[in-house]
Every structure is written in structure tokens, then in C-alpha cells.
């Protein structure tokens, strides 16, 4: 999971590039994130507005479901019965229930449990996406990765497998963030092909981890 | 001896303390002096402009009060209205909260002259290397496009859609085209607008039509709200419509009978069309707010809050009527502290008194006539005054409201806050007020209003 942490930080880097200075009108500060193994970022012009919008429950749900090519009803259900988006985590994800809870307006800003609810949703969606893609004759998300149980660990010295990993990363960025990954992100995600001890992972595990890493960045939650 | 001293001090405080200057006419008089400031454009400042909580003054209010007391011609409260203007002009150049901006500058910017944390901060120009992802500092159609898709289509754009968009010859035109598509989508009609309706309809499932104790069906309210705010319809219909919208999205004219088999006559729309005032006279609105009140102050306050954007409970929209409150229902509201607000809310409420809330009990288990018109319900139904104008009945009340700048501002603010998650900042106030003013020229179309919001720098400049 330390790799995932550094990927989350990579997301913060991109978010910073996209518009959030550390101080009003200030220069982007990147000193605090260099220790995570993230390549140093060139100081880009940052927004003086320091203002992003919260992608709330419906757009978040639709973005994950469309991007991962899964049915929204299978996105996340607590105890297999209660929709994470419509019921259990609705408020944390920026929705409101006027009818039964008398909550006539959503909360104006993310709550303390928003990050946890988002990660819950994303993890569930990625598990579903890997399973759904593995069952397809032609992959829609993880492209040429061999997601079968019988597949061996990833071998990036095999050019075909290396391309499959790169293509998966690129496709996840396209599907989830509607853009190409930058080099720093691609390099960082390639590291997910091995565990902390350097042992290669099963393609299925790589698919799940890369999906979670890319879909749980702040870029998913703010726009 | 100590006791005697205490009594003397107490009496001196009671008898000679400066008279409270909490005057309900103050906000209106301030707007007479400065009709073009943001807080007087389609609104009235709340009491908190001068008070922390009446009668205690904040820094700005105290400065105004001092100027008033210093005026030799101020001989008592009867001179308050006539001298407030000169007292205000006397403190225009002062900086009561010490934030570097004069009081008049703050009033003109829309910031709070009594709060040092409320002031305009000039944003720095973007610097450093060019940003390949966003055109920071200028309107970026690609950035706006993503926002439009999320907010009005209910989903982020796909990779292909973004690429197609940036390839367009005129991305602004493409942005407007996509916005129009989103505003016609099932998401916007059936969910986006429904969530904006929530705090105006205030549904409650337990007493909704499919609840345990069905009193009325708020589905009619949601459908009407969404219908009026789509397809370039006139948004004033929110307060003027004499029709309803059925489950198929079709207009229904005339009285609508309650659902067959319903025990208490709920589920329809029992009012005759000539007694209707759009969202204000649905069976649900009258039932849930009026309930059994003789003088439905809650109903009027919700109408004032939801459609004119002023909340009496927050000391907003105070527009006192001479001779009010008459305390027609003997609730003690004529006491000075109550009268500050009740001189506005009571005359606002009279027109609603001709409409039943939860109807009459006609059998041990049946309420009938809920949300119907009953001119003999109270003797005050024709005494209403709204925004200073006497009105004979609720449709007239609603017509005055719908044609007011308050309505324009409230509608604009509803969509502005939805788009940006906050009210306009001081450097965005001119854009915001331009949209408020443009509503009549746009035929009161919500779609045109939203398009104007989307094209502001506030929306599209990263």
C-alpha cells in the first residue's frame, strides 16, 4: 500500500498543477511531496482562484460506472443490499435525502467521512470491474491483461505483457479522467506491477491496484 | 444602604439608558439612500448589517447610531426615519471594521462593513510556466465543458467527448450546444432540478401520498417545478401557474380529483384554477405549512424564503407595514420585540388565511377540504401587503412577488449557488447582478439564465 500512497500523492501533484496553489495567488509548492518518490514537478502557472467543485454522488457514480464499464446497480452495495450511493453513503458523497431524513440541502463541502466513502465506492467498483472484464471475451477496461486465474505473475521483460500494462494504465486514465497520463504517473503506476519486495504481481492484482490508484485520486472527486 | 444604592442604579439604567435603535424600517431606509448597492438589488439588508442581534450594535451599526445621536435634530425615534440617511452619509468614509475599506466601499462591493474578515482581496495574476492542462487566468471552454457535463448532465465527459470538443472550431458555441443538450436531459429534468426543489417543497415521506398518513402528494410540486424551469418557459409561472403537470409530463387544467380510493381526499389538486398561484397553492404546500393555523405565518414565511430569497427568521426582508401587526389572532405579537418582524410577516400572511391547510375532520378518520379555498375561513384574507403593495388575494400576492426583482435575484442565486457551490464574491457581483437584470429580456427562461452563469468568468476561468 505504500505504492498506493505515493500514487495518491501523484494525484495531488496533478491537482496542484491543475489549479490549487498552496497560498492565495502563490507559487506552487512541491517540496513537501518529493519524498514520496514522485518525480519533481516543474512549477506551472497555478490558478489564483484556488477553487474546485465537488463531484457529487451522481456524477461520481456515473463517472465510475461508465469509465469502468459496469452497471451502476453493481457499483457498491453494503451487505449486498443497500446502495452505497443512493442510501448508505449518500450524504458523505454530497447528496441529500429530503424525503425520509428531512435533509433538504446537501452539505456544502466534503465531510470527514467523504474520503472513506469515496474509497469504499472506488474499491467496490474496481473489484466489480476486474471481475466483469475477466468474464468478457474482449476486455473493455484492462485491455490485453490476462485476468484469468491461471495466468502467471506479470513478466515485464515480455514485451507483450509490458505493453498490456502500459495500455491498461493509459486506458484507465482515458476512461476515468478523460485524458492521457503524464509520464510521472505512468512511471509510478508501472511500479504497481511488483509488490514491496520486488516480486511480480498477478495481472489481476495489478489491474485492481492500478484501477483503485487512478480512480481514487482527488481528480476523481473535484473538478 | 447597598440595597438602596442598587435600586437607584437599576432605575437610572432603566430610565435613562439610550433608547434602542432597532427599527424595522432601517433596512428599507438604507436602500432608499443606496438603491444600487448589491444588498438592495432584489433584496433588503438583514438586521445584521447594523446589529449583532438587536438591540446590540455591531461596529457599523454603532457608528451609525453615534452619528444619529450626535445630530442635534434627533429628538427621538419619531425622527429616526427622516435622519437615518444623513447619519449613514456621515459614516460613509469611516472604516468601522478596520479592514482598510471605507463603509461605503464595502456597501458598494457587497462586503460586510462590520466584519474585518469580509473584504475584497485582489487576486494575483497567474505566473510561472504555461500550464498545459488549463488556461489559468482566462476563460477556458474545456474547463467549463467539464463543469457543464458534471453539473447539468450528471456525469463527467468521456475521453472521446473531450477530444471532440477541443477539436471544434468554436468551442464556446460547442459549449452552449452541449449545455442545451444537458438542460434537456432526463438527469436535469428528473434529478438536478428535483434536488433544487427539495428545500422549496420540503417533502416528508411519512405524510406524503405513499406514506403512513397520506395528507397530500408532493409529486405534483416536483413535476411543476421542473416543468416550469425547463424548455425556456417563463419562470414566473412558479408563482402564477394555474395548471399542473401529470406523471406523463402533460399539462392538466382544472380541478384534479384525489386519488381513487384515498381515504382523506389526498393526491389531487382541489383548487379551482382562478385561486391558484403555482407552487404556493399546491395541496402539499398548503397542508404541510398551514396545517391548522388560522393565520398561516409559516406558509407565508416559506413562500417569502423559497421564492423571494428572504428569510424572516434570519431578520431578512423586513418591510414593515404601517399599523401592523394588528395581532389578529391574539398571539401577543404586537409587543415591540415581536413587532419588528411581525409588522412584515403578518400582513404577508393574511392572503394565505383564505386557504385551508389540513382540512376539516369529516369523520373519525377523514380530513377533507385540505388545500381548498375558503373565503370565510378568516376575516383578514384580503388585507395582505407584500413588498409595500396591498393585494386583495393570493394570486395577486403571487403576481407582485413574481414580477419583483426579489424573485429575479432569488432565481439567479439559486442557479449560481448550484453551479459554483457558493454565493457570488465581491469581484463577481457585477456579473451576478447583470444576470439578475437580464432575466426579463431573456423571457424569464431558466435555461438562458444558466447559460449566462456558465459564460461568466466565475464559472469558466480556472
Instruction: Concatenate the DSSP letters of all residues of chain A into one string.
Output: -HHHHHHHHHHHHHHHHHT--SSTTPPP--GGGGGGTPPP---B---SS----B--HHHHHHHHHHHTT--GGGS-EETTTEEIIIIITTTTTT---TTTS---S--SS--TTHHHHHHHHHHHHHHHHHHHHHTSSS-SSSTT---STT-----TTSHHHHHHHHHHHHHHHHHHHSSPPPHHHHHHHHGGGB-TTSPBPPHHHHHHHHHHHHHTSHHHHB-
Q: Is B55 on the interface with A (CB under 8 A)?
A: no
Buried b (16+ CB within 10 A) or exposed e, A149-160: eeeeebeeeeee
Q: Do B133 and A17 touch (CB under 8 A)?
A: yes
Phi, psi of B386 (to 5 degrees): -130, 135
Is the pLDDT at A1 greater than 50? The verdict is no
Write the CB contacts of B276 (distance below 8 Å, at least 6 apart in sequence). Answer: B241, B242, B243, B395
Q: Tell the residue number behind the cell numbers 398551514, with chain if given.
A: B290
Segment A5-9 mean pLDDT: 47
Is the model more confident about A5 or about B79?
B79
Percent of chain B scoring above 90 in pLDDT: 81
Is the model more confident about A7 or about A102?
A102
- Alpha-carbon gap, residue A117 to A128, rounded angstroms: 17
Q: Which residue in the set A25, A26, A108 is minimally distant from B421, CB to CB? A: A108
Q: Do A24 and B123 touch (CB under 8 A)?
A: yes
ipTM reported for the complex surpasses 0.95: no
Q: Return the pLDDT at B125.
A: 79
| Residues of B whose CB is below 8 A from A172 | none
Can you say whether the dihedral through the CA atoms of A211, A94, B165, A217 is positive or negative?
negative
Segment A157-174 mean pLDDT: 96
Q: Chain B closest CA to A18's CA: distance in Å?
A: 6
Cell of B229: 424551469
Q: Is A98 on the interface with B (CB under 8 A)?
A: yes
Query: pLDDT of A120-163, one tens digit each?
Result: 999 999 999 999 999 999 999 999 999 999 999 999 999 999 99
Return the C-alpha torsion angle B392, B396, B401, B404, nearest 10. -100
| Residues of B whose CB is below 8 A from A101 | none
Is the pLDDT at A19 greater than 80? The verdict is no
Query: pLDDT of B355-376, one tens digit each?
Result: 999 987 766 666 678 899 999 9
Q: Return the pLDDT at A15.
A: 45
Which residue in chain A is spatially nearest to B204 when comparing CA positions?
A99
Among A16-25, B362-371, B377-386, which is the least confidently predicted range?
A16-25
Q: Do A98 and B202 touch (CB under 8 A)?
A: yes
Segment B260-279 mean pLDDT: 84
Segment B94-107 mean pLDDT: 96
Mean pLDDT of chain A: 85
In contact, B445 and B232? CB cutoff 8 Å: yes
Write the CB contacts of A1 (distance below 8 Å, at least 6 apart in sequence). Answer: none
Q: Is A175 on the interface with B (CB under 8 A)?
A: yes
Is residue A205 exposed (0-12), middle (13-18) or buried (19+ Cβ within 10 Å)? Answer: middle
Among A24-28, A209-213, B209-213, B227-231, which is the least confidently predicted range?
A24-28
- Alpha-carbon gap, residue A77 to B306, rounded angstroms: 35
Q: Return the pLDDT at A24.
A: 36
Interface with B, mutate which of A99, A106, A180 (most B CBs under 10 A): A99
Query: pLDDT of B150-170, one tens digit each?
Result: 999 999 999 999 999 999 999
Q: Return the pLDDT at A36.
A: 41
Q: Return the pLDDT at A29.
A: 37
CA distances from B334 to B234, B341, B386 (A): 39, 10, 19
| Residues of A whose CB is below 8 A from B208 | 99
Q: Is B151 on the interface with A (CB under 8 A)?
A: yes
Is the pLDDT at B173 greater than 90? The verdict is yes
Alpha-carbon Rg for chain B, nearest whole angstrom, is: 26
Q: Return the pLDDT at A49.
A: 84
Mean pLDDT of chain B: 92
Q: Is A42 on the interface with B (CB under 8 A)?
A: yes
Q: Do B129 and A18 touch (CB under 8 A)?
A: no
Percent of chain B scoring above 70 in pLDDT: 92
Q: Which residue in the set B131, B155, B198 is minimally distant from A105, CB to CB? A: B198
Q: Which residue in the set B137, B157, B203 is minimally distant from A178, CB to CB? A: B157
Give this prediction's pTM: 0.90
Q: Which residue in the set A24, A26, A174 is minimally distant from B159, CB to CB? A: A174
Q: Which residue in the set A51, A105, A179 is minimally distant from B199, CB to CB? A: A105
- Alpha-carbon gap, residue A21 to B120, rounded angstroms: 19
| Residues of A whose CB is below 8 A from B137 | 45, 47-48
Reference B152, options B189, B113, B200, B123; nearest CA is: B189
Query: What is the CA angle B399-B197-B443, rounded to 5?
Result: 45
| Residues of A whose CB is below 8 A from B199 | 98, 104-105
Which residue in chain A is spatially nearest to B122 when comparing CA positions?
A25
Q: Is A28 on the interface with B (CB under 8 A)?
A: yes
Percent of chain A scoring above 70 in pLDDT: 81
Q: Return the pLDDT at B260.
A: 66
Alpha-carbon Rg for chain A, nearest whole angstrom, is: 18
Q: Return the pLDDT at B77.
A: 85
In contact, A84 and A117? CB cutoff 8 Å: yes
Interface with B, mutate which of A42, A86, A104, A182 (most B CBs under 10 A): A104
Reference A165, options A65, A151, A178; nearest CA is: A151
Q: Chain B closest CA to A161's CA: distance in Å?
A: 24
Residue B255: band (very low, low, confident or very high) from pLDDT cuts 50, 70, 90: very high
Within 109-168 of A, beta carbons closer than 8 Å to B belong to none
In contact, A76 and A82? CB cutoff 8 Å: no
Residue B130: band (very low, low, confident or very high) from pLDDT cuts 50, 70, 90: confident
- Alpha-carbon gap, residue B168 to B56, rounded angstroms: 59
Residue B7: band (very low, low, confident or very high) from pLDDT cuts 50, 70, 90: low
Is the pLDDT at A35 greater than 50? The verdict is no
Q: Do A96 and B195 touch (CB under 8 A)?
A: yes
| Residues of A whose CB is below 8 A from B121 | 24
Is the pLDDT at A18 greater than 50? The verdict is no
Q: Is A66 on the interface with B (CB under 8 A)?
A: yes
Within 371-430 of B, beta carbons closer than 8 Å to A belong to 420-422
Size of interface A-B (CB pairs under 8 A): 119
Amino acid at each position: 500500500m505504500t505504492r498506493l500512497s505515493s500514487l495518491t500523492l501523484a494525484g495531488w501533484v496533478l491537482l496542484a498543477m491543475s489549479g490549487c496553489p498552496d497560498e492565495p495567488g502563490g507559487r506552487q509548492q512541491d517540496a513537501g511531496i518529493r519524498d514520496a518518490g514522485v518525480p519533481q514537478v516543474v512549477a506551472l502557472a497555478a490558478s489564483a482562484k484556488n477553487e474546485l467543485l465537488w463531484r457529487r454522488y451522481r456524477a461520481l457514480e456515473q463517472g465510475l460506472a461508465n469509465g469502468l464499464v459496469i452497471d451502476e446497480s453493481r457499483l457498491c452495495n453494503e451487505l449486498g443490499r443497500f446502495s452505497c450511493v443512493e442510501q448508505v453513503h449518500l450524504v458523505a458523497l454530497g447528496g441529500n435525502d429530503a424525503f425520509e431524513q428531512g435533509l433538504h440541502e446537501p452539505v456544502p463541502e466534503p465531510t470527514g467521512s467523504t474520503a472513506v466513502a469515496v474509497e469504499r465506492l472506488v474499491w467496490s467498483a474496481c473489484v466489480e470491474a476486474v471481475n466483469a472484464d475477466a468474464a468478457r471475451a474482449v476486455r473493455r477496461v484492462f485491455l490485453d491483461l490476462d485476468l484469468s486465474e491461471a495466468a502467471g505473475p506479470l513478466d515485464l521483460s515480455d514485451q507483450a505483457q509490458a505493453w498490456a500494462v502500459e495500455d491498461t494504465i493509459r486506458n484507465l486514465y482515458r476512461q476515468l479522467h478523460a485524458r492521457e497520463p503524464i509520464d510521472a504517473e505512468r512511471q509510478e503506476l508501472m511500479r504497481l506491477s511488483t509488490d514491496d519486495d520486488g516480486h511480480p504481481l498477478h495481472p489481476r492484482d495489478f489491474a485492481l491496484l492500478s484501477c483503485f490508484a487512478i480512480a481514487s485520486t482527488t481528480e476523481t472527486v473535484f473538478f | 444602604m447597598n440595597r438602596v444604592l442598587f435600586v437607584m442604579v437599576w432605575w437610572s439604567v432603566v430610565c435613562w439608558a439610550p433608547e434602542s435603535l432597532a427599527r424595522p424600517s432601517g433596512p428599507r431606509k438604507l436602500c432608499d439612500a443606496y438603491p444600487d448597492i448589491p444588498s438592495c438589488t432584489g433584496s433588503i439588508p438583514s438586521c445584521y448589517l447594523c446589529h449583532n442581534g438587536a438591540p446590540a450594535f455591531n461596529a457599523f451599526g454603532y457608528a451609525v447610531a453615534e452619528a444619529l445621536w450626535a445630530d442635534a435634530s434627533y429628538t427621538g425615534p419619531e425622527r429616526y426615519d427622516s435622519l437615518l440617511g444623513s447619519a449613514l452619509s456621515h459614516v460613509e468614509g469611516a472604516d468601522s471594521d478596520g479592514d482598510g475599506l471605507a463603509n461605503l466601499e464595502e456597501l458598494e462591493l457587497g462586503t460586510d462593513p462590520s466584519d474585518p474578515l469580509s473584504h475584497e482581496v485582489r487576486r494575483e495574476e497567474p505566473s510561472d510556466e504555461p500550464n498545459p492542462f488549463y488556461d489559468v487566468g482566462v476563460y477556458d471552454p474545456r474547463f467549463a465543458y467539464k463543469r457543464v457535463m458534471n453539473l447539468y448532465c450528471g456525469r463527467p465527459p468521456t475521453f472521446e467527448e473531450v477530444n471532440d470538443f477541443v477539436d471544434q472550431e468554436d468551442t464556446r458555441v460547442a459549449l452552449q450546444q452541449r449545455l442545451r443538450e444537458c438542460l434537456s436531459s432526463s438527469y436535469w429534468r428528473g434529478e438536478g432540478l428535483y434536488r433544487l426543489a427539495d428545500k422549496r417543497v420540503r417533502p416528508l415521506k411519512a405524510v406524503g401520498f405513499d406514506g403512513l398518513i397520506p395528507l397530500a402528494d408532493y409529486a405534483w410540486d416536483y413535476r411543476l417545478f421542473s416543468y416550469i424551469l425547463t424548455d425556456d418557459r417563463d419562470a414566473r409561472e412558479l408563482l402564477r401557474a394555474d395548471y399542473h403537470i401529470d406523471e406523463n409530463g402533460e399539462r392538466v387544467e382544472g380541478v384534479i380529483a384525489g386519488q381513487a380510493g384515498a381515504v382523506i381526499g389526498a393526491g389531487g389538486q382541489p383548487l379551482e384554477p382562478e385561486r391558484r398561484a403555482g407552487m404556493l397553492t399546491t395541496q402539499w404546500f398548503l397542508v404541510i405549512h398551514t396545517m391548522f393555523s388560522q393565520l398561516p405565518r409559516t406558509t407565508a414565511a416559506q413562500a417569502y424564503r423559497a421564492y423571494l430569497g428572504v428569510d424572516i427568521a434570519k431578520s431578512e426582508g423586513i418591510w414593515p407595514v404601517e399599523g401592523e401587526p394588528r395581532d389578529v389572532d391574539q398571539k401577543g405579537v404586537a409587543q415591540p420585540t415581536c413587532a419588528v418582524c411581525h409588522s412584515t410577516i403578518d400582513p404577508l400572511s393574511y392572503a394565505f388565511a383564505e386557504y385551508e391547510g389540513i382540512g376539516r375532520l369529516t369523520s373519525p378518520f377523514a380530513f377533507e377540504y385540505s388545500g381548498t379555498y375558503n373565503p370565510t375561513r378568516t376575516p383578514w384574507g384580503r388585507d395582505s401587503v407584500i413588498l409595500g403593495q396591498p393585494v386583495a388575494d393570493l394570486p395577486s400576492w403571487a403576481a407582485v412577488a413574481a414580477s419583483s426583482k426579489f424573485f429575479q435575484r432569488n432565481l439567479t442565486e439559486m442557479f449560481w449557488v448550484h453551479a459554483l457551490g457558493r454565493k457570488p464574491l465581491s469581484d463577481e457581483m457585477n456579473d451576478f447582478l447583470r444576470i439578475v437584470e437580464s432575466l426579463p429580456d431573456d423571457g424569464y427562461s431558466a435555461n438562458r439564465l444558466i447559460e449566462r452563469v456558465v459564460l461568466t468568468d466565475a464559472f469558466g476561468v480556472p
